[in-house]
A and B are shown apart, each in its own frame.
Chain A
């Protein structure tokens, strides 16, 4: 399967697209929209080829489709790409959500005088950077894109966001992430210095070039803080409600749906295999943080008055579940955590997009500005309820499977924790149902009748873009097996490091395209 550099193409095509779209003149807004959509469609097509060619068998090489091109030899920095089952799922999520987010934001900029080409170019640049972080198999290369990703997101929030606090939110997001990234940078350098100048992930894993004792603990913390801020885990979460609240809804869907998964993805890809002892040392603390996060964020979500901030807080609760799943170290819980990452992207992405539909109609995301809205917007209200129920993990929707697996896996390892975390499910029902009730049901807010937009139900474009998400949530709710089969080999490989038997790893695909 190595004939075509598909993974390079996955990074290069959106990047080229960003440059092309950015060079379109401001006046030709429609040309920019369609070009951007075309590029993101092309990326999705390439990703589909990767998914088709991927070897799902249990003994298959861990990283597949590997490519490697020399870049800066003095640092062992290579353009090395590779994909495993976890990364594949994340890539599919990214390439799927990006065009949907573009469609969702299709007309959002009509009201404000902002450059449409720049907006879509930034989304494509963001897509390229996010894909690169999932595909990179070189620690420094990963770091490059991990940090570079901040720039397009910063402008998307700060320049195209809504609300008075958008600049504050953008700066907070940037500085928080940068601070975490710099701690990771120290750890990256220290890892490099202590391993004789190796950055290649496969080599690091094969040679088990792990630092010992104290140093490993510090390196783990350096990486983990960066990822915990990115995810974000409690108590590193305070930037997310601001950023999610200020970002345009479609961008928030990408921010929470995909970008935050890079944090949890990177924990699985880097923290566990490279620092297994430290991972186990800190696991009880992280599980504790996760469980606090689940309950705390759910309570805070109940009290929110702004829809986007509310959804952001629900996500923090969900990230607690993901953290619990990863650090419980059972196959079921870790598989569940990875599925959670994927399903949460679908459900919360949908929720953010629907909130965006509401906000653009009403001109506000404040819950108090709604009330009884379902009367004139029956379809929108239905989708809203569906997205809400999916995000509270109703059986029959995809997130149920993942939440069940996480709790099931955690329960076999650590009963009290699982019991406390289960509280999160109840609280989730509370914030979702109450949110729906206050906005869609009950006494109709008289102000809504004065707004013609609030009587316009979903347009064809809006229906078309939510349809794939609804189908995916339902489809994977009833048939989760393909997802489980995709991630299980990679999860098993990762967990071998925790059980101390990395010798059982499948042989690496020893071919590089140099």
Chain B
């Protein structure tokens, strides 16, 4: 510490405050597990998590307009954490989406004890497992979620590859665990967790190798330095190619781009639905935040080298996600493939570089709210205690529960990109930015993919309204105020961003410049 002070290290504590708040709250949550009575833990944990995230959001807002590194030595920024427009905007988005996701995690009314298992270590479907089905679920999920969200916030502001790697692990490990905690269909849930973990570990390994290659090429892990080396370095360019490819594999894995998407449908289906919502909304934001930063700050100078391969991946992701979505019979798998296709649209924003940063962030925010509400509704429609995820079970829902059906219809039309919803405004702004960057081909593929994808969404709407309900149709469980808030917030954001997107467009417009570009 002394040495550092002598070296003139200045730390922007206010700028780090959002992450510090979330991490401190996560540790506090662990202490709550050890000290507070079991009966009261849920209330304490949920309030702690929501308050911490709200405080983090407030701290992000106070930092608005900052454009500097959090750590400086004698006035020169060292890039490990960078507080700039995109980083702060994405942190704020993450905080808000995470609050909503936490409320969904806390839902206990739709099924006895909630969606989470009490003791994850109990062998699935054993007598002990059946016995604990009536018990309330574990409350460790809240600190775990906070750790993951803290990691995501760090991921989107990380200015060098090493910090980014720490953040990547920080956000991934709790998620692997959360995926395996479903109370129903435990085996599928555990399979999902294992699959996600193994493939995620592979991705991390790729990342580390890629980082090593880029270090070999540039002599630094700092993103701005790598960018500089893209034009100056005398090292063989092969290091750069291999490094970019490997880093991209790891990040595209998290972003669920084809051909690194295989885990998505299985994990989305197997994980408890609130966790799926968290992944679909927040992890997407974090992954694309990271991609935007790496490619804009670190690899802009070598754009020619990766442009073609990323374009191919974007096309494959858009078309693959849309085409596979058409044949799905399970609402969670459908949403999983739709999330893959949306990753493709977002990749357009990454490829378009500086022109499209703001619009990509707008898309992330708009999509996050819509998809979180969609998964929230999925968790409400139930056959007895289990979620009715097979689409055939949703037939005729409009007759018995018109309110829910209206909500689903709005969300599906938003995902399909109809005007007056955020789906349209997001697509419009993203595609127009891409056209400004001369990516006409990608936009046309995006439009074709949207048209294909409209079919599965419409299929859901048809089922809801135009089909007769089965005699044993699932019931829509009345949500507690918490899940109700989630749905209401998601739908409200979907409509507000569709009808009056001006204020958010202004914000992303101001927040679209990375430091060091």
Show the binding face of A for B, using Cβ within 8 Å. Answer: 71-75, 143-145, 147-148, 150-151, 155, 158-159, 166-167, 170-171, 174-175, 178-179, 182-183, 185-186, 189-190, 192-193
- A175 and B431 within 8 A (CB): no
- B466 and A158 within 8 A (CB): yes
Q: Which chain A positions have C-beta within 8 A of B450?
A: 182
CA distance A270 to B445 in the complex (A): 25
Q: A72-B500, A193-B436 are in contact. List 11 more A-B contacts (CB 8 A).
A: A144-B420, A145-B419, A148-B418, A151-B418, A155-B465, A158-B462, A170-B466, A182-B447, A185-B431, A186-B447, A189-B432
Q: Which chain B positions have C-beta within 8 A of A166?
A: 466
Q: Which chain B positions have C-beta within 8 A of A178?
A: 416, 451, 454
Tell me whether A74 and B420 are in contact in the complex, defined as CB-CB below 8 angstroms, given that A175-B451, A178-B451, A193-B435 are known contacts: no
Name the one of A73, A175, A185, A190 contacting B428, with C-beta atoms under 8 angstroms: A185
CB distance from A253 to the nearest CB of B (A): 22
Q: Which chain A positions have C-beta within 8 A of B397?
A: none
B502 within 8 A of A: yes
B513 within 8 A of A: no
CB distance from A122 to the nearest CB of B (A): 12
B444 within 8 A of A: yes
B356 within 8 A of A: no
- B432 and A73 within 8 A (CB): no
B332-363 vs A, Cβ < 8 Å mask (1 yes, 0 no): 00000000000000000000000000000000
CA distance A75 to B424 in the complex (A): 13
CA distance A175 to B417 in the complex (A): 12
CA distance A183 to B455 in the complex (A): 16
Q: Which chain B positions have C-beta within 8 A of A150?
A: 418
- B502 and A74 within 8 A (CB): yes
Closest to B436 in A: A193
B458 within 8 A of A: yes
Name the one of B419, B443, B459, B462 contacting A147, with C-beta atoms under 8 angstroms: B419
Tell me whether A175 and B458 are in contact in the complex, defined as CB-CB below 8 angstroms, given that A72-B502, A147-B419, A148-B418 are known contacts: yes
- A–B complex contacts, Cβ < 8 Å, 26 sampled: A72-B501, A74-B506, A74-B509, A75-B505, A144-B419, A145-B419, A147-B424, A151-B413, A158-B466, A159-B466, A166-B466, A167-B462, A171-B462, A178-B416, A178-B451, A179-B451, A182-B451, A185-B428, A185-B447, A186-B435, A186-B444, A186-B447, A189-B428, A189-B435, A193-B432, A193-B436
Name the one of A71, A159, A179, A190 contacting B465, with C-beta atoms under 8 angstroms: A159
B31 within 8 A of A: no
User: Which 7 pairs across A and B sit closest by C-beta, in order of nearness?
Assistant: A144-B419, A182-B447, A179-B451, A189-B432, A74-B505, A158-B466, A193-B435
Q: Which chain B positions have C-beta within 8 A of A189?
A: 428, 431-432, 435, 443
- B502 and A192 within 8 A (CB): no
CA distance A72 to B418 in the complex (A): 17
CA distance A128 to B500 in the complex (A): 20
CB distance from B232 to the nearest CB of A (A): 34
B470 within 8 A of A: no
Chain B residues numbered 462-497 whose CB sits less than 8 Å from any CB in chain A: 462, 465-467
Q: Which chain A positions have C-beta within 8 A of B465?
A: 155, 158-159
Tell me whether A190 and B458 are in contact in the complex, defined as CB-CB below 8 angstroms, given that A74-B502, A158-B465, A185-B447 are known contacts: no
Q: Which chain B positions have C-beta within 8 A of A158?
A: 462, 465-466
Q: Which chain A positions have C-beta within 8 A of B36?
A: none
B503-516 vs A, Cβ < 8 Å mask (1 yes, 0 no): 00110010000000
Q: Which chain A positions have C-beta within 8 A of B62?
A: none
CB distance from B505 to the nearest CB of A (A): 5
Name the one of B431, B448, B462, B505 contacting A72, with C-beta atoms under 8 angstroms: B505
A-B contact count (CB 8 A): 78
Show the binding face of B for A, using Cβ within 8 Å. Answer: 413, 416-420, 424, 428-429, 431-432, 435-436, 440, 443-444, 447-448, 450-451, 454-455, 458-459, 462, 465-467, 500-502, 505-506, 509
Tell me whether A143 and B505 are in contact in the complex, defined as CB-CB below 8 angstroms, given that A175-B458, A178-B454, A183-B447 are known contacts: no
Closest to A174 in B: B458
CB distance from B295 to the nearest CB of A (A): 22
Closest to A186 in B: B447
Q: Which chain A positions have C-beta within 8 A of B419?
A: 143-145, 147-148
Q: Which chain A positions have C-beta within 8 A of B443?
A: 186, 189
Q: Which chain A positions have C-beta within 8 A of B418?
A: 147-148, 150-151
- B440 and A190 within 8 A (CB): yes
CB distance from A251 to the nearest CB of B (A): 15
Closest to A158 in B: B466
Closest to B444 in A: A186
CB distance from A344 to the nearest CB of B (A): 28
Q: Which chain A positions have C-beta within 8 A of B424?
A: 144, 147
Closest to B434 in A: A189
CA distance A74 to B506 in the complex (A): 8
Q: Which chain A positions have C-beta within 8 A of B506?
A: 74
CB distance from B36 to the nearest CB of A (A): 46
- B462 and A175 within 8 A (CB): no
- Interface centre among B428, B431, B467, by most chain A C-beta atoms within 10 angstroms, is B428
Q: Which chain A positions have C-beta within 8 A of B458?
A: 171, 174-175
- B420 and A148 within 8 A (CB): yes
Q: Which chain A positions have C-beta within 8 A of B444?
A: 186
Q: Which chain A positions have C-beta within 8 A of B436?
A: 193
CB distance from B106 to the nearest CB of A (A): 33
Q: Which chain A positions have C-beta within 8 A of B420?
A: 144, 148
Closest to A194 in B: B435
CA distance A185 to B506 in the complex (A): 22
Q: Which chain B positions have C-beta within 8 A of A179?
A: 451
Name the one of B454, B501, B509 contacting A175, with C-beta atoms under 8 angstroms: B454
CA distance A159 to B501 in the complex (A): 32
Closest to A192 in B: B432
CA distance A170 to B428 in the complex (A): 26
CB distance from B182 to the nearest CB of A (A): 34
Name the one of A144, A145, A167 contacting B466, with C-beta atoms under 8 angstroms: A167
Q: Which chain B positions have C-beta within 8 A of A144?
A: 419-420, 424
CA distance A329 to B115 in the complex (A): 67
Closest to B416 in A: A178
Q: Which chain A positions have C-beta within 8 A of B502?
A: 71-74
CA distance A165 to B458 in the complex (A): 16
CB distance from B5 to the nearest CB of A (A): 46
CB distance from A242 to the nearest CB of B (A): 15
Q: Which chain B positions have C-beta within 8 A of A186?
A: 431, 435, 443-444, 447
Q: Which chain A positions have C-beta within 8 A of B417?
A: 182
CA distance A186 to B434 in the complex (A): 11
CA distance A204 to B432 in the complex (A): 18
CB distance from A83 to the nearest CB of B (A): 22
Q: Which chain B positions have C-beta within 8 A of A167?
A: 462, 466-467
- Interface centre among A75, A150, A159, by most chain B C-beta atoms within 10 angstroms, is A75
- A175 and B466 within 8 A (CB): no
CA distance A179 to B450 in the complex (A): 9
Closest to A157 in B: B466
CA distance A183 to B444 in the complex (A): 8
CA distance A147 to B420 in the complex (A): 10
CA distance A145 to B428 in the complex (A): 15
CA distance A150 to B454 in the complex (A): 13
Q: Which chain A positions have C-beta within 8 A of B435?
A: 186, 189-190, 193
Q: Which chain B positions have C-beta within 8 A of A175?
A: 451, 454-455, 458
CA distance A404 to B418 in the complex (A): 40
CA distance A178 to B450 in the complex (A): 9
CA distance A166 to B466 in the complex (A): 9
Closest to A184 in B: B447
Q: Which chain A positions have C-beta within 8 A of B509?
A: 74
Q: Which chain B positions have C-beta within 8 A of A145?
A: 419
Q: Which chain B positions have C-beta within 8 A of A148?
A: 418-420
CB distance from A21 to the nearest CB of B (A): 15
CB distance from B446 to the nearest CB of A (A): 9
Q: Which chain A positions have C-beta within 8 A of B454?
A: 174-175, 178
